[in-house]
Amino acid sequence: MKRRIIVTMLALAAFCLAGAPALADDAALLRAIKDKVHAAVRILAEEGRDGLEQFNDVDGRWGQEPYVFVFDEKGVILAHANDQALVGKTLLGITDVKGRRFIQDAIDIVKGPGRGWSEYWWYEKPHNEHKHKLSYIMAVPGQPMGVGAGVRSDITAQEANRLVAP
């Protein structure tokens, strides 16, 4: 009986530890997203709208995955490093395939807690399908705008909050 308990405990420990590297990788990715958003917010807090253009450069620092996007409190995309066709467009009423008004969610984060994780389904042109996306959203102090960056991932906003506090 004692041997069976020990074997069971060892099996459970091995099962739990097998997921530990993946969780560490997820946490590192989420921290990198947060760091990128924080860096963009610092620039925009200092430069305001004058600093927006650099966030439209797909080949620059902000265009590399996870790319940065900037929006105002009316849902207008002010900068988008991955898709300049979105710049100047209002996405406020747009819903994802699950019916989620993701830009409204981002605005609510900016106006409410000022930072947080948002998840939604985003259309991926190269794959011709919608993919689950997790983005970190943060308000720009002193400016009526928010910054986001995200990644295609199965990680939920709730899991992101557990792995890396907003």
Residue 125 lies in a domain: yes
Residue 136 lies in a domain: yes
User: How many CB atoms within 10 Å of residue 75?
Assistant: 17
Query: What's the pTM value of the predicted model, to 2 decimals?
Result: 0.82
* Distance in angstroms (rounded) separating the CA atoms of residues 126 and 137: 25
Residue 58 lies in a domain: yes
Average pLDDT over every residue of 66-78: 96
Residue 14 lies in a domain: no
Domain count, the chain: 1
Residue 113 lies in a domain: yes
Confidence class of residue 12 from pLDDT cuts 50, 70 and 90?
very low
Residue 42: which CATH number?
3.30.450.20
Full domain range(s) for residue 108: 20-163
Q: Within the chain, where are the H helices?
A: 2-18, 20-47, 102-111, 157-163
Residue scoring higher pLDDT (129 or 33): 33
Residue 130 lies in a domain: yes
Residue 144 lies in a domain: yes
Condensed to tens digits (0 to 9), the pLDDT of residues 107-155 reads: 999 999 999 999 999 887 777 888 899 999 999 999 999 999 999 889 9
* Distance in angstroms (rounded) separating the CA atoms of residues 164 and 162: 6
